[in-house]
Chains A and B, each alone.
Chain A
Amino acid sequence: MPAAATSTGVYVYGIVRAEELPAVSAEGVAAARVELIERDGLAAVVSRLPEGELRVKRRDLNRHLQVLEEAFAETTIVPCPFGTVLQSEQDVESALLAARHDELTATLKRLDGNVQLNVNAVYEEEQLLRELVAGNSEITGLRDASNQLGDAGYYARLRLGELVATLVDERRQADAERILSQLLDVAENVVTDEPGEDGVLKASFLVSRKRVDRFDARLEETARMEHPLIRIEVIGPLPPTAFAGALTER
């Protein structure tokens, strides 16, 4: 690889406005010192990667996040995904800061004054199953069949499970939509992720700092109403990682 002579790459954490972030003290990926590369009023938050092969470690995930969090505590940042590495310092300046100057400036402006709150709503599984089983004769029939057949009841169990899974999916759509609808008007934007197996809704909300209290109060109210079937957790305020790319307005 015709890389720069002294380094195998420059790891990029995110972009800020130059002069708004004096320094970052958190340790970077592979324990490297975090630096800033400035160009045309923008600064890339970076660290050098050691020569040779870099093996990603769990610790590096935390380091990436900590660098973003420290920068975000000081100023607006356009975060990069974990594992963003450019060839050289020159590439960071030309291919990133210069080539995408206007876009980055616009994104910084859009993210100004906003934080990200990650909301995760999950079912209390036992409560959910109780509600689905109650009064559903098809489930009761399959359950009895699979119980009587014992080990031979594999296919009955599979059908029972499939039926329950279908009911859970239907239920999930309605529940997710309801929770989302209660939060949309106190957020600037939202991006949803695939909820996990017990999940109802997994979403990142972009929330104005001025409205964080209102969002929190609304979410608290929602959590109270959804209890005990659904448990809601919120993580943040986080740097707006889910809103740094191309956006679909809602």
Chain B
Amino acid sequence: MAVATRGTSSNYLQRAPSPSGLADVLDVILDKGLVIDAFVRVSIIGIEVLTIDARIVIASVDTYLRFAEAVNRLDLMQTETAGIQELRDGGSSGKRKAEGALEGAKDKMPGMGSSEKESSR
């Protein structure tokens, strides 16, 4: 934890002792570590779904349109001579929305696709 507790004087580098968001946790533990041969491993339900969804690729067209929209918004705001704070708010709320959508998509995955086991008892 040495990194996290030190350097409070800084405003530039953001420090976290441990990953908190789902994406950061996945970055650390998914597909990272000692590789063990498939024939000695046992697969557990949900892992494949998790792996595929975590590596979800956003379609290029969506990216292009989003960039175009952002550039247009940028222009609009400049012509309206918006204050810098307003610009900042507009930019970050759009971004927050995108991040929220991504987190939402990821949040759905764990356990997804695995069949609910019926209790016979």
Contact = CB atoms under 8 A, between A and B. Distances in A.
Interface string A163-200: 01100100000000000000000000000010011100
Interface in B68-121: 68-72, 74-75, 87-88, 90-91, 95, 98, 107, 110-111, 114-115, 117
B52 interface: no
Nearest to B77: A126
Nearest to B117: A53
Contacts of B87: 126
A3 B46 CA distance: 20
Q: Chain B interface: which size bin?
A: 35 or more
Given A65-B29, A234-B16, A246 B35 contact: yes
A73 to B, nearest CB: 9
A217 B72 CA distance: 39
B69 A157 contact: yes
A236 interface: yes
B91 A125 contact: yes
Given A118-B24, A246-B35, A85 B63 contact: no
Contacts of B70: 125-126, 129
Interface residues on A, range: 35 or more
Nearest to A69: B18
A100 B66 CA distance: 49
B17 to A, nearest CB: 7
Contacts of A95: 37, 40
A58 B14 contact: no
B32 A81 contact: yes
A134 to B, nearest CB: 10
Nearest to A82: B29
A14 B75 contact: no
Nearest to A142: B68
28 contacts: A56-B45, A56-B110, A58-B22, A58-B107, A64-B29, A68-B29, A78-B34, A80-B36, A81-B34, A83-B43, A83-B47, A83-B50, A126-B87, A160-B64, A160-B68, A160-B71, A161-B65, A161-B67, A164-B64, A168-B67, A197-B63, A223-B10, A223-B13, A233-B15, A236-B18, A241-B29, A241-B32, A245-B33
